[in-house]
Amino acid sequence: MRIGLVNDLPMAVELLRRIVVSTTEHAVAWIAVNGREAVEACRRDRPDLILMDLNMPEMDGVAATQRIMAETPCPILLVTASVDANVSGVYDAMGHGALDAVDIPSVGADGNAQAQSAALLARIAMIGRLSRDVAPVVRTTAPARTAAPSAQQLIAIGASAGGPAAVATLLAGLPGGFRAALILVQHLDAQFVPGFASWLGQHTALSVRPAIEGDRPEPGTVLIAASGDHLVFKSGHDLGYRSEPRDYVYRPSVDVFFESVAQWWQGDLVGVLLTGMGRDGARGLKLLRDRKYLTLAQDRATSAVYGMPKAAAAIDAASEILPLAAIAPRLVEACRQSF
């Protein structure tokens, strides 16, 4: 991959350069010292990936991500001094289409620095696979429904790049007394999920928290997949995590979650697929539609990255394709009419 580096600190740039060129699979496309230079460099030479800092002079990483994804879109990985210290900026940038965020590796030759460098390279490799749009193989025939929960309402949501802002907008449109339970699978490293849940909680009257093993859907509560493993229903009531399938690029996978919903859930349901790169969730959404559930996909005009919803539209997985602002009102209507 040809990778653009965006950071105003020479030491950080050199560290990232060495990590990138430590493997023959990658090369540095260009270096920018602020967001404005990155936007201009991307216009001249669009790379396969950008490693973007957040805090920079002239134009920060949030504004640069917004400009690049609007003008010359390409995969962006946020690499900053401290993700935890920049939670708001991280999710703002992800809302504009950044794929993920990691702390910049520490300097040194000790085991911790080497492990951090290896983890960054692994993240880069994963984004490379996503960029090639490798779709996981999912069963397309619906498994038989087994033991079901008591009548309860569920909104199953999948999202990836651009998802944080899209989910925040959706949740902000739901009333505090919304009766359905909501479960979200967002492509996000597990370590960032608690901060993400807290950030989402600022945008909604609903309760938001990471899902833990043995959780059950709760009315008016948003549960978020919070593991590198896949969130699934393990029975008609209980949620949990499983490692299989291990070879999926997407972890947690929206398809795997939607498939478990189709297997176990017998209450009222709406499946929702939001902005994201790749195809994860499209086949799972089709499975839900084949089970006669209402399925919604975000439209092209309002998607930060029109990958996952586009894949869903291509296989007729969505019974309705809606702009982001219309999805929450549609859920309220469905809850009132069907639930």
Active-site annotation holds for 203: no
| Residue tagged active-site, from 60, 92, 100, 280 | 280
**Cis-peptide, bond into residue 252, ω within 30° of zero:** yes
| Residue tagged active-site, from 26, 92, 100, 160 | 160
Yes or no: say if 37 and 10 are a contact pair by the CB < 8 Å rule: no
**Cis-peptide, bond into residue 105, ω within 30° of zero:** no
Of 306, 313, 265, which is closest to residue 285 (Cα–Cα)?
Answer: 313
Yes or no: say if 313 and 301 are a contact pair by the CB < 8 Å rule: no
DSSP 142-194: PPPP-S-PSS-EEEEEEE-TTHHHHHHHHHHTS-TT--SEEEEEE---GGGHH
In 10 A of CB 51, how many CB atoms?
27
Contacts of residue 34, defined as CB under 8 A and 6 or more positions apart, other chains included, come to 6, 8, 56, 57, 58, 59, 64
Question: 306-333 burial by CB neighbour count: b if 16+ within 10 A, else e?
Answer: bbbbbbbbeeebbbebbebebbbebbee
d(CA 116, CA 94): 22
d(CA 260, CA 239): 10
DSSP 210-265: E--TT----TTEEEE--SSSEEEESSSS-EEEE--STT-SSSS-HHHHHHHHHHH-
d(CA 196, CA 53): 19
Eight-class DSSP state of 317: -
Contacts of residue 236, defined as CB under 8 A and 6 or more positions apart, other chains included, come to 146, 147, 148, 149, 264, 265, 266
| Residue tagged active-site, from 26, 187, 203, 230 | 187
Active-site annotation holds for 96: no
Q: Give catalytic residue positions.
A: 160, 187, 280
